[in-house]
Amino acid sequence: MGNTKSRSTNAAAARSKRPKGPTESAKRKKKVEEEQQTLMKSSANREQTINIHSKHKAGNKQRAQNVFAQPIDMTESFTAPSYPKSPEAIRFIDNALADNFIFASLTKSERRQLINAMKADSAPAGEVIIQQGDIGDYFYVVEEGNVTFAVDGNHVGACSTGATFGELALLYDCPRAATCLANTDCKLWSVDQRTFRHMLANSNASQQKDTVDVLK
């Protein structure tokens, strides 16, 4: 009887000496720190992707005029446009953006902001949408129609419904690589460089501020 009581007392003492798990406050802090690391890694990966393409362009002698887009002035007042779209149009644009490297690291919120900012456009058959050598700043998604690409007058490809083109204009102030011609009547969605870069800059700044506020 005495031995049983002694063993029970020793077991209780041993349990009381076991290290306690992290407090809820510590868990929350750790989670916030992990989210901050994820955000920083995402931003770093995005910049790395941009730099890789920038170096590639700079190395091409025929693109000697290529320069990276100017930094965004965050003191400038800017409100991203938002154009109404049907649920079907939103899904269509979202699917079109899915496989493009520029948008691979966007958060769900950033993708939705980008989609909201895209406006409906059109080009009749025979119209030049992009002229090779021009400094362009628009990115396009083809909703309907067929667009052909030519470099120095030579046909090099084509695209149709669901395809995208002109994405490097969102990153660079550089001459267009090819002429893009509407081979048929086309319905397009477009967004400009200024809107795209402001949205990313504002989104990153907001996320970083929220993280810092939680850590205070």
- For 155, half-sphere exposure in the C-beta direction (CA atoms, 13 angstrom radius) is 7
Q: What is the pTM of this model?
A: 0.62
What pLDDT does residue 197 have?
82
Show Cβ contacts of residue 15 under 8 Å, excluding neighbours closer than 6 positions.
Answer: none
As a whole number of angstroms, the distance between CA 177 and CA 150 comes to: 9
Give the integer Cα–Cα distance in Å for 212 and 139.
Answer: 34
Nearest to 96 by CA among 189, 198, 192: 189
Contact 105, 45 (CB under 8 A): yes
| Three-state SS at 147 | strand
Where do we find the tokens 């083109």?
Answer: 165
148 forms bridges with which residues in the sheet? 158, 181
pLDDT in tens, the chain (216 residues): 555 555 555 555 555 555 555 677 677 667 656 655 554 454 444 444 444 444 444 444 444 444 445 555 555 677 889 999 999 999 999 999 998 888 887 888 889 999 999 999 999 999 999 999 998 889 999 999 999 999 999 999 999 999 999 988 887 878 899 999 999 999 999 999 888 887 777 655 555 444 445 555
pLDDT in the model for residue 168: 84
State the DSSP code for 175.
Answer: B
Per-residue pLDDT, 102: 83
Helix (H/G/I), strand (E/B), else coil: 196:
helix
Contact 140, 129 (CB under 8 A): yes
